[in-house]
Amino acid sequence: MAIDGPDLTRQSAATLADAISSGEVSAEEVTRAHLDRIDSVDGAVHAFLHVDRDAALATARAVDAKRSSGAALGPLAGVPIAVKDVLTMAGLPTTCGSRVLEGWRPPYDSTVVERLRAADMVILGKTNMDEFAMGSSTEHSAYGPTRNPWDLERIPGGSGGGSAAALAAFEAPLAIGTDTGGSIRQPAAVTGTVGVKPTYGGVSRYGLVALASSLDQAGPCARSVGDSALLHATIAGHDPRDSTSIDAPVPDVVAAAALGDVRGMRIGLVRELSGEGYQSGVQQLFQRAVEILTNLGADVVEVGCPNFEYALAAYYLILPSEASSNLARFDGMRYGLRVGDDGQASVEDVMSLTREQGFGAEVKRRIMLGTYALSSGYYDAYYGQAQKVRTLIARDFANAFEKVDVLVSPTAPTTAFKIGEKVDDPIAMYLNDIATIPVNLAGNCAMSLPIGLALEDGLPVGLQIMAPALADDRLYRVGSALEQALVDAWGHLLIEEVPSL
Amino acid sequence: MTDDYMDFHEALTAFEPVLGLETHVELGTASKMFCSCPTAFGAPANTQVCAVCLGLPGSLPVVNGVAVESTIRMGLALHCDIASWCRFARKNYFYPDMPKDYQVSQYDEPLCTNGYLDVTVATDEGPRNFRVEIERVHMEEDTGKLTHAGGDTGRIHGADYSLVDYNRAGIPLIEIVTKPIVGTGSLAPVVARAYVTELRDLMRSLGVSDVRMEEGSLRCDVNVSLSPAGEPWGTRSETKNVNSLRSVERAVRSEIERQAAVLTEGGRVVQETRHFHEDTGRTTSGRSKEHAEDYRYFPEPDLVPVAPDGAWIERLRSELPEIPSVRRARMQTEWGISDFEMQALVNIDAVELVAGTVAAGVDPSAARKWWTGELARVANERGVDLASLPVTPATIHRIEELIASGALTDSLARRALEGVLAGEGDVDQVVSARGLTLVSDDSSLLAAIDTALAEQPDVAEKIRSGKVQAAGAIVGAVMKATKGQADAAKVRTLLFERLGVAE
Ligand SMILES: [Zn+2]
């Protein structure tokens, strides 16, 4: 495939990989183009927390050398990528958007980063996020918010707003996100990009700084379904260092994306994920997308998932419980921030002062919630009940997947809201994830892809596709078919309509 | 505040003790519980650590399969039920010896439950058996080791600074918890000791741990409560980290004496943890448990459940080695000794030493004689365990070999052993360094005899005249001249030959 136009930053990952592999452009040129783009726009967008210019260029040159030596290159060799700052990478800081980890440089690579390196991808740097992935707007980053390239006054979603914004601002063709309750999908929806939460255990969590271990999952962020599939295939697969990693072959997502055919597929509309609370433009575009799927030959029916109603409540018990324990280690004893160590203060004082100053308000709120929910005497009523709801939600999915191959819903109830609009209203913020949370609780997989711009505000809207565990390929099959139909209608991907910065 | 104590026997006239023992033992696996770091003892601080056992952000645990297998084997040897499905839990509390500020342990889903261990203790009426019921056996990870500098309490409070060594963090531990042990009366301290001894021997025989007590690889929490006969059980104290067999016995005894004094004076036993002091044999108050710390246990989400396959469990069961009590019964028969004699060996922890000596080729009665005689006396004098003397079954075997060959007499053999005990080397080194070789060369013995006869002509005359009992004076002189390194019987024979007298 030939490079279409002069700007290397506006190409798909697949196109860049082909061009590098064929020698049409060098990986170094591609990397420089993206580093230049970051230099020119990231002051306004603030998608990145750390940019690793020298290492990125060194990797790019190594890829070029490998190519000139005649060695075969992998399908994404030389393609730049941005990594959410919650995955460890030796040589760069990992902050998780928190003061408490300021300056910490992990001595080891996460498995995801290791696989990116093994695939000869060029890691540009680490992207901004809500502190410890707690939030839906990236406003909770200790290092300042990321802005939505569609409207710099608006949020790019969260917690992975940095990764999504980097794609929408053409600072990187691919990015890694993590999704605990929607942190890949909701940012994808509000930035007009594609994001996939793989099946729990599909991508290793080793080196992913845990928010809620039983919910966290790393996944691909891209500007198209096809690019997402290539990245998905690169990072997925069993890892013996993660006990919860699935020891089974990865579904062939690349082939599924190439197939892009929904004829004869049964698609379920989740009754509970519609109606009240969903912005009208979101509902309109969702209905139109469903019509397109019907026209493409899918058999669309409505499906009830009655327990989804309790998902948000259960999620806000399970997540804080696990987080309160996972975040205990940030105590100032071994790494990161240490406050109050004046030679007199006790260990307890230093631990409390460090945690008081190191964590932001949202993190403290969830640590307190979780500590309470796990307390003896409350455990059964809170954590125990939430786990039962979790089982019921998994059962809802199982029942639904007996009738249909995939489920669809809007990804988020609204388009991107204004920075500052919901930051003081936790419940309003939590409601952003109402449609994405059930999948994390049940452990299956889901994708968000753009389906148009809402009539009332001209901002991107996402559609969520949900598939059973280990059927990630179905996401790509349906997503690719819908994306192709929309591209046929529009003449281009939705992201082409993003205003220039 | 100092504690009062009541005389032990008086205490047990008034009260009945209930014991509970929680024993933590480091498993002898090559790698840690959740990572591949080595477990060898004594490495420089923080050199056997990795991202996982340091709890670095993003790291994840992976269960050590050998530790699970060891725990199951221990559970089987203790006649426990083995869970077909169980999970690890997180025990949450902040302390700098824990890299993650939670410990991965098992909480309400232990791997093994409901077993027992039979122990025998010596009483005036002969050996008596007790069945100690086992509540649970579970796995957990050890914490790091803190060393507090400055201050006078040896605790973190008041220390100038503290150092932490995470080499120990993540070492696999097995925890064996008894059900309440009742009905032991005045035997409570020895039952406690016998139980821990038996547990140790069991672990050694299974090969799941070599239980190096001097390295702190076995730690026992000793729970004791007292109540008047027939009354509901009293409030218990928990004496933490008691780490030798003798200390377990002393801790129980001391708690009985202390609590009896408290109760007799109309006081109330406080539910608390206590610290045991080796020097005094007494315990002091630690942290009160009246307001129990809330550990906020919940299932460890980073690990998948442990679900041992039934066939595997059965294979492990069929492969269990002979357990120590069965082995002891067999040894007793093989050595032809009485219950009483066997119990004497158990009491001084000499069974395996004797067995090893017999295995090295020494006659059982000779082996027993050395360990229960000379060696037991020295161990007692030095206040140490027999096993920690610098003498091994091989030492005894070599000594017996030299006696049998006539190279050493009994008295030379004792002097050789004395040298080994003094750290002068092995038997052969001591024999050569101390010059403990028997003068067996006839000509030099005859020369010594001639000298003695010349010096005591009257005695020589008496012997010649048939007064053979007078020979002792000459033999004595020869022994003295050879510094005891002659065989007296041989000297005697040579003397009569010399004088042409029949014995
Ligand atoms: Zn380690």
Once rounded to an integer, what is the mean pLDDT over residues B8-23?
A: 96
Q: What are the backbone angles phi and psi of residue B318, rounded to the nearest 5°?
A: -70, -20
Q: Which CATH fold topology does A10-307+391-493 show?
A: Amidase signature (AS) enzymes (3.90.1300)
Res. A43 pLDDT band, cuts 50 70 90: very high
- Is residue A127 within 8 Å of A162, Cβ to Cβ? yes
* B94 vs A contacts (CB less than 8 Å): 328, 331, 348, 351
The CATH number assigned to the domain holding B465 equals 1.10.10.410
Question: For the stretch B14-24, what's the b/e string if a residue is b when 16 or more beta carbons lie within 10 angstroms of its beta carbon?
Answer: ebbbbbbbbbb
> Looking at A12, A136, A183, A321, which residue is catalytic?
A183
3-state secondary structure of A352: helix
Q: Which amino acid is at A287?
A: Q
3 state SS of B463: helix
Alpha-carbon span B371 to A6, nearest angstrom: 92
Do B139 and B285 have their domain in common?
Answer: yes
pLDDT at position A478: 98
**B175 inside domain:** yes
Give the minimum alpha-carbon distance from B87 to chain A in angstroms, rounded to a whole number.
13
If you measure from the C-alpha of residue B210 to the centroid of ligand 1, how many angstroms do you get, rounded to a whole number? 21
The model's pLDDT over A64-100, given as tens digits with 9 standing for 90+, comes to 999 999 998 999 999 999 999 999 999 899 999 999 9
Give which of B52, B154, B151 is closest to B100, Cα–Cα: B52
C-alpha pair distances (Å), B106 with each of A106, A164, B86, B137, B138: 29, 40, 8, 9, 6
Extents of the domains making up chain A = 10-307+391-493
Note whether A322 contacts B51, CB cutoff 8 Å: no
What's the domain count of chain B? 3
State residue B450's pLDDT score: 87
Is the pLDDT at B289 greater than 70, yes or no? Answer: no
> Is the confidence at residue A120, as pLDDT, over 50?
yes
Instruction: Answer whether B108 touches A (CB < 8 Å).
Output: no
Query: Which residues of chain A approach chain B closer than 8 Å at the C-beta?
Result: 87-88, 94, 96, 101, 104, 106-108, 110, 205-210, 212-214, 240-244, 321-322, 324-325, 328-331, 333-335, 346-348, 351, 371, 374-376, 379, 383
Q: Which residues of B touch A351 (CB under 8 A)?
A: 94
Work out the number of other CB atoms within 10 angstroms of the CB of residue A312: 17
- From the list A108, A213, A333, which residue is nearest B51 (CB)? A108
Would you state the pLDDT for residue A3?
60
pLDDT at A1: 45
Who contacts B337 (Cβ-Cβ below 8 Å, separation ≥6)? B364, B368
CA angle B338, B340, B345 (to 5 degrees): 100
d(CA A219, CA A112): 9
Mutate to test the interface with B, among A86, A101, A108, A325 (most CBs of B within 10 A): A325
Q: Give the burial string for A169-180 (b: 16+ CB within 10 Å, else e).
A: bbbbbbbbbbbb
Collapsed DSSP state (helix, strand, coil) of residue B37: coil
Q: Report DSSP letters for A242-254, one per residue.
A: -TTS--SPPP-HH
State the amino acid at position B190 in one-letter form: V
Residue A280 pLDDT class (50, 70, 90 cuts): very high
Is there a domain that residue B299 lies in? Answer: yes
| Nearest-angstrom CA–CA distance, B58 and A132 | 12
A183 belongs to the catalytic site: yes
A202, A390, B301 from A475: Cα distances, Å: 14, 22, 27
Dist. CA B224–CA B410, nearest whole Å: 49
d(CA A107, CA A472): 32
Say whether pTM exceeds 0.80.
yes
Of A12, A21, A26, A84, which one is the catalytic site residue?
A84
Report how far residue A192's alpha carbon sits from residue A488's, in angstroms, rounded to the nearest whole number. Answer: 17
Confidence band of A4 (pLDDT split at 50, 70, 90): low
Contact B301/A213, CB-based, under 8 Å?
Answer: yes
Can you give the C-alpha Rg of chain A in angstroms?
21
Calpha distance B38→B63 (Å, rounded)? 15
Q: Which of B94, B157, B294 sits opposite A351 (nearest CB)?
A: B94
Residues 6+ apart with CB under 8 A from B192: B19, B21, B181, B222, B248, B249, B251, B252
| The predicted structure's pLDDT at residue B152 | 64
- The arithmetic mean of pLDDT across residues B133-153, rounded, is 90
Nearest CA in chain A to B34: A241
The C-alpha atoms of residue B54 and residue A224 are separated, in whole angstroms, by 40
Q: Which residues of B touch A376 (CB under 8 A)?
A: 294, 296
Q: Sort B336 into a burial class: Cβ within 10 Å, 0-12 / 13-18 / 19+.
A: exposed
Q: Is residue B61 less than 8 Å (CB to CB) from chain A?
A: yes
How far apart, in Å, are the Cα atoms of B453 and each of A258, B227, B252, B461?
116, 78, 66, 9
Q: How far is B175 from chain A (nearest CA, A)?
A: 23
| Domain shared by B141 and B281, yes or no | yes
Residue A6 has pLDDT above 50, yes or no: yes
Q: CA–CA separation, A418 vs A359, rounded Å?
A: 24
What is the tens place of the pLDDT at every residue in A239-275? 999 999 999 999 999 999 999 999 999 999 999 998 8
Measure CB to CB from residue B58 to each of A88, A321, A371 and give the nearest one.
A88
Between CA A11 and CA A25 the distance in angstroms is 12
Contacts of A106 in chain B (CB under 8 A): 51, 56-58
The pLDDT score that the predictor gives to residue B154 is: 63
CB contact under 8 A, A205 and B60: yes
- Per the annotation, the verdict on A403 as an active-site residue is no
Note whether residue B326 is domain-resident: no
Nearest CA in chain A to B62: A243
Q: What is the pLDDT of residues A159-169, one digit of tens each?
A: 999 999 999 99
End-to-end alpha-carbon separation of chain B, Å?
77
In degrees and rounded to multiples of 5, residue B107 shows phi and psi of -115, -90
Where residue B474 falls among pLDDT bands split at 50, 70, 90? confident
Name which of A207-211, B123-127, B169-173 the model is least confident about: B123-127
Do residues B357 and B480 both lie within one domain? no
Tokens 């929904």 sit on residue: A262
Q: Is A84 a catalytic residue?
A: yes
User: Domain check: are B483 and B414 in the same one?
Assistant: no
Q: Which domain holds residue B462?
A: 442-499
Q: Which amino acid type is present at position A143?
A: Y
Q: Is residue B426 part of a domain?
A: yes
Least confident of A194-198, B102-106, B268-272: B268-272
CA distance A351 to B156: 14
